[in-house]
Amino acid sequence: MPDEKKKKIVKTIKVDVDKCNGCRACEVACSALHAAPPYSSNNPARSRIRIIREPLKDIYVPVYAGEQAKAECLGRDKYVIDGKEYEECAFCRASCPSRDLFKEPDSGLPLKCDMCECDPTLEKPLCVQWCLVNALTYEEREEEAEEEPRPEDVEVSVEALVDKYGLEKVLDTMDRLSLSKKG
């Protein structure tokens, strides 16, 4: 096999909290684009980006919705940066049971940022386009994709399981798993 590593494009939004003016245009643009049909309605509560905003404490953190967390996590972290204490979960992207962020207001279903890969995919996420103060900037970078695991590595792992549970149990389990994956 040729020794060529796979490449993938990683889309990122760089958030400069010092430049954020707290106007929430990003929330407006996001919720408008993701309405059905697009732009037919607007509602920041549906936005996949939200600004954690406490003007009197000078806290402005735009946060993008990430993966859903089905349960609350153990840690409720607080961050102190430049003497400013950020509320717990301020930087967390999860839609989770401990807060009302990133949930559809009617159904409670989790929201997740799709980088505006809708139809048609936008050149830059709309929130970035609407952020004229440049708190949000779009960056693409190329990364090497993780290599496929080598077959012998898988073999080592399965052998360890056979050692532990016996071949029969492992085979039964494999059957059940493959059935449920298909089903």
Partner 1 sequence: MRYAETGYNLEIDLTRGNIERVETDPRDTELYLGGLGTNAKLIWDRVPPDVEPFSPDNLLIFGAGLLCGTPATGCNRTIVSTISPQTQLLAFSMMGGFFAPELKYAGYDKVVLRGKSPELVYIWINNDKVEIRDAAHLAGKGAVETAELIRQELKEPKAQVAAIGLAGENRVFFASIEQGRSSASRGGIGAVMGDKKVKAIVVRGTRDINVSRPAEYMQLCNEVLQYIKFRNENPIPGVMPILAGLGSPQEMKVHDEKWHTENFMWGNSRLRRKDFWNEEIAQAWAETLDSMRRRLISCYNCPMTCGATIAPPGRSVYMMKCFSKLTYTMAAMSDLEFGLGIAQSATEYGVDGFSAPQVMAFALELYEAGILTDQDFPGMPADNEGRFYWLLDRIVRREGIGDLLANGTYWAAKEIGQGAEAYAHNTIKKHEQLPLKLSMLNPIYFLMYSTGEKINITQIEGQFPQAPFPTRAERETFVKDWFQVPDDKFKQYFLDWEPRGEKSMPFYPTVQMCCDIVDWQEKMHYIDDALGMCAGLSSFPLKPPYHIHNYPKFISAGAGIAMDEEKLTQAVKRYRTLVRAINIRRGMRRKDEKPPADHWKKRFPELEKDLLDTYYRFKGWNDEGIPTEESLRELGLEYVFTDLEKRGVYADSGDTPPQGTGAQNEKEV
The burial class, CB within 10 Å (0-12 / 13-18 / 19+), for 146 is exposed
Q: How many residues bind partner 1 (CB under 8 A)?
A: 30
Only segment of 35-43, 113-121, 149-157, 164-172 that touches partner 1 (CB under 8 A) = 35-43
Amino acid sitting at position 32: A
Please check whether residue 93 is in contact with residue 69, taking contact to mean a CB–CB distance below 8 angstroms.
Answer: no
41 near partner 1, rule: CB under 8 A: yes
CB nearer to partner 1: give 44 or 161: 44
Restricting to residues 95-114, name those near partner 1 by CB under 8 A: 105
Q: Which one among 8, 14, 16, 39 touches partner 1, defined by CB under 8 A?
A: 39
Rounded Cα–Cα distance for residues 133 and 152 (Å) = 52
Minimum CB–partner distance for residue 146 and partner 1 (Å): 39
Q: Which one among 11, 23, 69, 112 touches partner 1, defined by CB under 8 A?
A: 23
Please check whether residue 73 is in contact with residue 100, taking contact to mean a CB–CB distance below 8 angstroms.
Answer: no
66 near partner 1, rule: CB under 8 A: no
132 near partner 1, rule: CB under 8 A: yes
Please check whether residue 57 is in contact with residue 83, taking contact to mean a CB–CB distance below 8 angstroms.
Answer: no
What do you get for the CA distance between the two ends of the chain, in Å? 35
Maximum alpha-carbon separation in the chain: 65
Q: Interface with partner 1 by CB under 8 A: which residues? A: 21-25, 28-29, 32, 35, 37-46, 54-58, 60, 105, 130-133
